[in-house]
């Protein structure tokens, strides 16, 4: 009922917010009769603020068109690599016609960024992705608003989250041989479970895991968020925060934890800060400080855009992560896609390096909660474990903003590079023009399969030297994984050298950028 009331109120407010936006423009225009009013700036600022307080915020876009790679602008093409009912795996493919830069891009590590499913969209990590693109091939999980998923797609559980992560990891491994995984906030727990299950089965696990600001052990330094989840029983959450999606949405009838309730909880944590921020915005509009006003708009366009979560996933997360602490207590069991129930054993991870990152002033995931991962991953050698506490950083500061770019990212970059297999140096036999080099970015599915089934030819594309060709057995592990990627329509700069096409088959095309 509450969801229907909220949507009714929002529908009634929509014409008024549109009117407020129009009025703000009329009073801000110095050539209109309203703009000549002595209080026009204040009136315009008031209407603008009213519009922003009442408007509905849609999902933002990443909007990443280019990335700076050592002073060279490379074009970014964002596309959906895999599509699941409740999530899309997005790839940020990089293009360039600069041959030196292209060679550099092809040798960089592949990183899967697992974004949180906790109320905001994956675009909250826009700054994270933009920075990572400088030195990595980047993929990210983009979770779908549950109210847009029809009931015919079934429910979404925490187990499904874990299974999605495993599928995405295998997808990157099939393309690149292996990958690195970075999880921010909430997904640290399901990501650790996913890698643990892969290790227990004897599967290839990621080269490294970067855990940032997540509730691995929510009992350590509990915050307001933790206390709410721990002090209320599960039935309270089911009776007070779970509602059905109204009929106007594709997911009508689905039980969800509405995004507007989550947003209210975010604001309630620091109401005075948000009130002051809106007042400063009002003052900036009066003063004509367009730069500060635009910074405010960008932040709240992201912060106010929220999504609904499937009720099953939300309640299971509350119980598993915060109430029963199943991960650290060793009592978590996950149902796989085949229906088999498996025990989550982090101690089975032995070959994946581990970096944990915490913010000194984090008020969402308290001190020590993420660092606890080192205690339960006892199978990982101590030499492959590292913890970093970011001085003066809050929760958002560890993955966005100045501290992320200047303090955290250099640590993450160095850690990933440390466990990235070295690239075998090669001497090309033929020199290609930049346009020809850029063509290497675009290959068909057939070319991928041919390269995978003919490892010696693929190797020849990377280098033509007088030295003997490598033994087939030495390349079996990498080549074997290639045919598992049927969804790839093209290969960009992110294609590993072993999957390149012979140089003699290259065709020049106009530069993509």
The one-character DSSP state at 509 is: -
Indicate if the pLDDT at residue 80 is higher than 80. Answer: yes
Chain centroid to Cα 507, Å, comes to 34
Q: Strands (DSSP E) along 118-233, which ranges? A: 137-143, 180-184, 208-212
Q: Count the neighbouring beta carbons within 10 Å of the beta carbon of residue 61.
A: 10
Indicate if the pLDDT at residue 480 is higher than 80. Answer: no
Q: In the predicted model, what is the mean pLDDT of residues 233-248?
A: 94
Lowest-confidence pick of 70-84, 266-280, 374-388, 497-511: 497-511
Q: For residue 66, list its beta bridge partners.
A: 75
Q: Is the dihedral of CA 421, 427, 430, 432 positive or negative?
A: positive
- Among all chains, which residue has been given the structure tokens 């603008």? 48
Q: Which two tokens stand for residue 87?
A: 């999530």
Residues 172 and 110 sit within 8 Å (Cβ to Cβ): yes
pLDDT (0 to 100) of residue 122: 96
The one-character DSSP state at 486 is: T
Residue 334 Ramachandran class (φ > 0 left, ψ -120 to 50 alpha, else beta)? beta
Distance CA 362, CA 336 (A): 33
Indicate if the pLDDT at residue 274 is higher than 70. Answer: yes
3-state secondary structure (DSSP) of residue 110: strand
Kindly report the pTM of this predicted structure: 0.81
The one-character DSSP state at 398 is: G
Q: For residue 114, list its beta bridge partners.
A: 183
Each residue's pLDDT tens digit, 427-453: 444 444 444 333 444 343 333 333 333
Indicate if the pLDDT at residue 26 is higher than 60. Answer: yes
pLDDT (0 to 100) of residue 424: 64
pLDDT (0 to 100) of residue 456: 36
Contacts of 252 (CB under 8 A, 6+ apart): 151, 244, 245, 246
Residues 357 and 388 sit within 8 Å (Cβ to Cβ): yes
Which domains does the chain show, CATH number per domain? Answer: 2-56+259-303 (no CATH), 108-237+308-417 (3.40.50.1820), 434-505 (no CATH)
Indicate if the pLDDT at residue 512 is higher than 50. Answer: no
Q: In the predicted model, what is the mean pLDDT of residues 109-124?
A: 96
Distance CA 292, CA 300 (A): 13
Helices (H), 304-364: 311-317, 326-329
Each residue's pLDDT tens digit, 149-168: 999 999 999 999 999 999 99
Distance CA 145, CA 142 (A): 10
């Amino acid at each position: 009922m509450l969801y229907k009331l909220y949507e009714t109120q929002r529908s009634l407010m929509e014409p008024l917010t549109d009117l407020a936006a129009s009025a703000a423009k009329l009073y801000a225009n110095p050539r209109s009769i309203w703009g000549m009013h002595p209080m026009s700036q204040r009136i315009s600022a008031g209407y603008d603020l009213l519009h922003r307080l009442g408007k509905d915020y849609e999902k933002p876009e990443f909007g990443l068109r280019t990335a700076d790679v050592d002073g060279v602008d490379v074009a970014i093409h964002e596309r959906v690599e895999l599509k699941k009912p409740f999530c899309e795996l997005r790839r940020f493919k990089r293009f360039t016609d600069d041959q030196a830069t292209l060679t550099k891009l092809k040798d960089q590590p592949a990183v899967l960024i697992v974004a949180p499913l906790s109320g905001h969209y994956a675009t909250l990590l826009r700054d994270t992705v933009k920075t990572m693109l400088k030195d990595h091939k980047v993929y990210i999980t983009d979770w779908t608003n549950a109210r847009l998923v029809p009931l015919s797609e079934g429910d979404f559980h925490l187990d499904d989250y874990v299974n999605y992560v495993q599928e995405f990891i295998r997808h990157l491994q099939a393309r690149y041989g292996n990958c690195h995984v970075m999880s921010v906030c909430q997904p640290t727990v399901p990501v650790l479970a996913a890698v643990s299950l892969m290790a227990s089965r004897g599967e290839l696990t990621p080269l490294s895991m970067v855990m940032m600001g997540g509730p691995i052990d929510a009992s350590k330094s509990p915050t307001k968020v933790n206390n709410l989840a721990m002090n209320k029983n599960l039935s309270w959450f089911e009776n007070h925060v779970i509602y059905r999606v109204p009929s106007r949405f594709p997911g009508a009838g689905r039980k969800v934890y509405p995004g507007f309730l989550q947003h209210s909880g975010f604001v309630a944590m620091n109401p005075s800060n948000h009130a002051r921020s809106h007042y400063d915005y009002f003052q900036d509009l009066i003063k004509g400080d367009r730069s500060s006003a635009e910074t405010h708009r960008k932040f709240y366009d992201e912060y106010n855009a929220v999504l609904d979560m499937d009720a099953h996933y939300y309640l299971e997360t509350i119980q598993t992560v915060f109430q029963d602490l199943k991960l650290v207590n060793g009592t978590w069991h996950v149902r796989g896609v085949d229906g088999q129930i498996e025990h989550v054993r982090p101690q089975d991870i032995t070959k994946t390096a581990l970096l944990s990152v915490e913010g000194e002033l984090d008020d969402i995931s308290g001190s020590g909660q993420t660092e606890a991962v080192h205690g339960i991953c006892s199978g990982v050698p101590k030499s492959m474990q590292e913890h970093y506490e970011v001085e003066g950083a809050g929760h958002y500061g560890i993955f966005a903003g100045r501290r992320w770019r200047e303090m955290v990212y250099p640590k993450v970059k160095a850690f990933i590079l440390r466990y990235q297999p070295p690239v075998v140096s090669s001497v090309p036999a033929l020199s290609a023009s930049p346009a020809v080099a850029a063509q290497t970015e675009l290959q068909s599915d057939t070319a991928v399969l041919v390269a995978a089934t003919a490892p010696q030819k693929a190797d020849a594309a990377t280098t033509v030297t007088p030295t003997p060709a490598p033994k087939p057995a030495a390349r079996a592990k990498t080549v074997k994984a290639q045919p598992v990627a049927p969804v790839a329509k093209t290969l960009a700069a992110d294609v590993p050298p072993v999957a390149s096409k012979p140089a003699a088959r290259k065709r020049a095309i106009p530069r993509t950028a």
